[in-house]
Amino acid sequence: MGDPTLTADGLAGWLRARRVTEVECLVADMSGVARGKILPTEKFLSSSADGGLRLPESIFLQTVTGDFVDSEIMDDTEPDLILRPDPTTLQLVPWYDEPTAQVICDAFHRDGSESAIAPRSVLRKVLRLYADRGWKPVVAPELEFYLCKKNIDPDYPLEPPIGKSGRPETGRQSYGIDAVNEFDPIFEDMYDWCEAQGLDVDTLIHEGGAAQVEINFDHGDPMALADQTFSFKRTVRQAALKHGVYATFMAKPHQFEPGSAMHIHQSVVSLETGETLFATPEGEDTALFRAHIAGLQKYLHDAMPLLGPNVNSYRRLVKDFAAPINTHWGHENRTVGLRVPASRPHARRIENRIPGADANPYLALAASLVCGWLGMVDELEPTPPLQKNAYTVKSQRLPRHLLDALYAMRGSKALREALGDDFVTIFLEVKQAEHAAYQQVISAWEREHLLLNV
């Protein structure tokens, strides 16, 4: 993504050489929504040089509905944070006619300290925990999403879009080649725009739902992959809109259809040698591999709000819809929450199948990695690998509702210490406010079945 060799001093030359007229300065809020400012190029250069590129700290107290939350710990005078563009994320925005660039920014206080509540900072904090031990995590996200017909009235259910055949999908088309080709124009733009931005997308497949698609990313550095996933979501939405279609990363946009996940393949290598810490040269599991799994098993329950951050997230986590309902693990078992794919020793990894596509990628990666890190540090032992259908097992259950997940995270001392107490408190405040807003909504189901019957 972007030019990894580009420095802050090289920003001006890069922008002027491409005749860029505007720059979008982006940060991800708690929900993963792109917030920020758009500036003329020269104003961007002068502002980023003298600390004039700023946003109020309350941007991280904004809910997904756009409301601001009163916080017990954040300064209610709304002080500004100073944005520092990460030059390695600078790239052209390919869907604009006018030359426009975008850059992901980090947030700092006026005293020079990094914001502890910005999602990108939280992931960086977790990566430092690994580095302090001489470890380096490697990840590869798999991101699912639906294409759907434009939905102007949110009271109406979503429908699959019309493909080039002139007909919508009416059945499931797992791995269907012709089904994917129905939307070739969208995917051609998507791939072209990903290439223009340096997004390292790999495989495209049709998933189990009607007009549901999965994109796999090549494995690599967690921060780089979080940046790419953040940018990819925006890219796909724009490619779909160009062709009169919506792309949605809701965890469960359709009833009676599978939900959309963000599976995270994760492993750990030695920072010094680059060799895997999860398997011996002979292919045997290491103690650190088992401990990483055990950490995921023990702490993912408490970290669930970061993996399933919305009320809708928990509609996906139901049995028999290709989604996990517990944190059991097993080899080549797609019913468990933690799957170990068959691989050569150097590629030994764990696939965390629990995160939803609606999760903030920075926070989902931070949560998944920190749970594994806690297991490695504490030398935990996992349960035996499950060799049967995990839907029949009642132990290791995940929370069924957002409110239960928020309650569990609130009491987790380990996550507060690892991720930062202020971050956990503010994240919970935002999600609690979103849940309270949801509680005011009366659904069509309630009007249909309760209005005249109770």
Q: And the tokens for 386?
A: 């499950």
Residue 430 lies in a domain: no
Are 143 and 95 within one domain?
A: no
Mean of pLDDT over the chain: 93
Q: Tens digit of pLDDT for each residue in 402-412?
A: 999 999 999 99
Residue 441 lies in a domain: no
Which residues sit opposite 24 in a β-bridge?
A: 38, 102
Contact 228, 159 (CB under 8 A): no
Contact 367, 303 (CB under 8 A): yes
Are 107 and 179 within one domain?
A: no
Residue 74 lies in a domain: yes
CA proximity to 369, closest of 28, 127, 31? 127
If pLDDT is split at 50, 70 and 90, which confidence band does 173 have?
A: confident
Are 185 and 276 within one domain?
A: yes
Residue 111 lies in a domain: yes
Among the candidates 71, 93, 115, a domain finishes at 115
Are 28 and 156 within one domain?
A: no
Among the candidates 63, 80, 115, a domain finishes at 115
Contact 338, 329 (CB under 8 A): yes
Residue 449 lies in a domain: no
Q: In this structure, is the dihedral angle defined by the CA atoms of residues 200, 222, 93 and 184, taken in order, positive or negative?
A: positive
Give the best-scoring range by mean pLDDT among 124-128, 320-324, 331-335.
124-128
Which residues sit opposite 149 in a β-bridge?
A: 245
Average pLDDT over residues 91-95: 95
Are 55 and 98 within one domain?
A: yes
Q: Tens digit of pLDDT for each residue in 399-450?
A: 999 999 999 999 999 999 999 999 999 999 999 999 999 999 999 899 999 9
Residue 184 lies in a domain: yes
Are 183 and 315 within one domain?
A: yes
Q: Domain count for the chain, please give it.
A: 2
CATH value at residue 167: 3.30.590.10
DSSP letter string over 242-274?
A: HTTEEEE--S--STTS---BEEEEEEEEETTT-
Phi-psi region of 186 (alpha: psi -120 to 50; beta: other; left: phi over 0): alpha
pLDDT attached to residue 106? 96
Are 174 and 309 within one domain?
A: yes
Contact 162, 149 (CB under 8 A): yes
Rounded Cα distance between 81 and 112, Å, is 10
Q: Tens digit of pLDDT for each residue in 231-260?
A: 999 999 999 999 999 999 999 999 889 999
Those residues with Cβ within 8 angstroms of residue 50's Cβ, 6 or more apart along the chain or in another chain: none
In a 13 Å sphere around the CA of 396, the CA atoms on its Cβ side amount to 26
- Does residue 163 carry a pLDDT above 90? no
- Does residue 170 carry a pLDDT above 80? no
Q: What residue numbers bound the domain in which 205 lies? A: 127-419
Q: And the tokens for 411?
A: 């009491």
Rounded Cα distance between 131 and 270, Å, is 9
Q: Supply the Cα-derived Rg of the chain in whole angstroms.
A: 22
Residue 121 lies in a domain: no
Are 140 and 263 within one domain?
A: yes
Are 407 and 368 within one domain?
A: yes
CATH value at residue 106: 3.10.20.70
Contact 296, 353 (CB under 8 A): no
Are 80 and 221 within one domain?
A: no
Among the candidates 115, 138, 157, a domain finishes at 115
Are 172 and 270 within one domain?
A: yes
Residue 122 lies in a domain: no
Are 134 and 111 within one domain?
A: no
